[in-house]
Amino acid sequence: MPGPAPDQRMRPSGRRNSQGIRIDPEAEATHEPRLAVLSALVKHEPGVLSEVSGLFSRRQFNIESLTVGPTKGDGTARMTIVIEEPEPGVQQAKKQLKKLIPVIEVEELESAAMRRELALIKVAGEKPDDVQAVAQMYGGDAVDASKNAVTVEVTGSKQKIDAAVEAFEQFEILEVVRTGAAALERGSKTMDNGAATMESDN
């Protein structure tokens, strides 16, 4: 005597969303993607960049930029990773990063954190003075000039660089190269003294 068929069984009343979160009918929360700046202190050793980029690609985290460079000369490097993910994805990215053995610490920077990227923009060289003038408007400078081309360097937030690139379009841009963001928390807080511990995060 088999028990009730599927349509005659006891049913629960609740439901979860596709992220496995129980849905409260009063306050349904669907997480929209947001930008998050993750800063990771890692061991400066071969393969780290590949481990981190491999992790992000195989778990389908949406990377906007990733920069890496050595730090104080103690064998560590700092990575700044800008991702665009819904809240659970941001948390998951932090936790997966922390699992990698060469990763020493991970934190998400506050939105007020200082973020800088650098762009080198090579434009046609007909009007070098005008190019220099525009560069200065963006706090940049011409760093190389030849008969046919001028290269300027601009540093700043992503928005500022976007605007600068747009402004240089009047000169016929030959090439643009950008670094992606490097970011640090404002004030005296550092990763060594103020890093959030992952263990207490949900």
Partner 1 sequence: MSERASIPRQDEAADTDETEQRGIDEITTGSQSVIAALEQAGVEHAFGVQGGAIMPVYDALYDSSIDHITMAHEQGAAHAADAYGIVTGDPGLAMATSGPGATNLVTGLADAAMDSDPMIALTGQVATDFVGNDAFQEVDTTGITMPVTKENYFSDDSDTVGDDVSEAFALAEKGRQGPTLVDLPKDITKGPTTEWPEKPETPETHQEPVEADEVIVEAAAEALQEAEKPAILAGGGVIKSEASDELRHFAREYDIPVITTMPGLGSFPETDDLAVGMAGMHGTGAANMAITNTDCLLGVGTRFDDRLTGGVETFAPDADIIHAEIDPAEISKNIEADYPLIGDAERVLEQLDDAMTSAPDADEWREQCQTWKDEYPLAYDMPDDEPLKPQYVVETFDELADDDTIVTTGVGQHQMWACQFWTYEYPRTWVSSNGLGTMGYGVPSAIGAKLGAPDTEVVCFDGDGSFLMTVQELSVAVRENLDITYVVLNNEAVGMVRQWQDGFYEGRRMASEYPWIPEFDKLAEAFGARGFRLEDPDEVEDTIKAAREYDGPAVIDAIIDPAENVYPMVPSGGDNGLFALNEDHLGMI
Interaction of residue 95 with partner 1, rule CB under 8 A: yes
Quick one: which of 34, 71, 99, 110 contacts partner 1 (CB under 8 A)?
99
Q: Which amino acid is at 201?
A: D
Residue 48 or 164 with smaller CB distance to partner 1? 48
Measuring CA to CA, how many Å separate 113 from each of 37, 46, 104, 184, 189?
Answer: 9, 29, 20, 6, 11
Q: How far is the CB of 81 from partner 1 (least distance, A)?
A: 16
Q: How far apart are CA 190 and CA 195, in angstroms?
A: 7
Interaction of residue 5 with partner 1, rule CB under 8 A: yes
Residue 16 or 72 with smaller CB distance to partner 1? 16
**Phi then psi for 149, rounded to 5 degrees?**
-150, 150
Which residues ranging from 123 to 162 are in contact with partner 1 (CB under 8 A)?
Answer: none
Quick one: which of 50, 60, 188, 193 contacts partner 1 (CB under 8 A)?
50
Residue 23 or 143 with smaller CB distance to partner 1? 23
Q: How far apart are CA 45 and CA 2, in angstroms?
A: 61
Site size for partner 1, by CB under 8 A? 45
Q: How far is the CB of 55 from partner 1 (least distance, A)?
A: 8
3-state DSSP of 52-117: HHHHHHHCCCCEEEEEEEECCCCCEEEEEEEEEECHHHHHHHHHHHHHCCCEEEEEECCCCCEEEE
Residue 47 or 187 with smaller CB distance to partner 1? 47
**Interface mask (CB under 8 A) for partner 1, residues 54-93, using x and -?**
x---x-----------------------------x--xx-
DSSP assigned state of 148: S
Half-sphere exposure of 122 (CA within 13 A, CB side): 10
Q: Which residues of this protein are in contact with partner 1, per CB under 8 A?
A: 1-7, 9-22, 43, 46-47, 50-51, 54, 58, 88, 91-92, 95-96, 98-104, 198-202
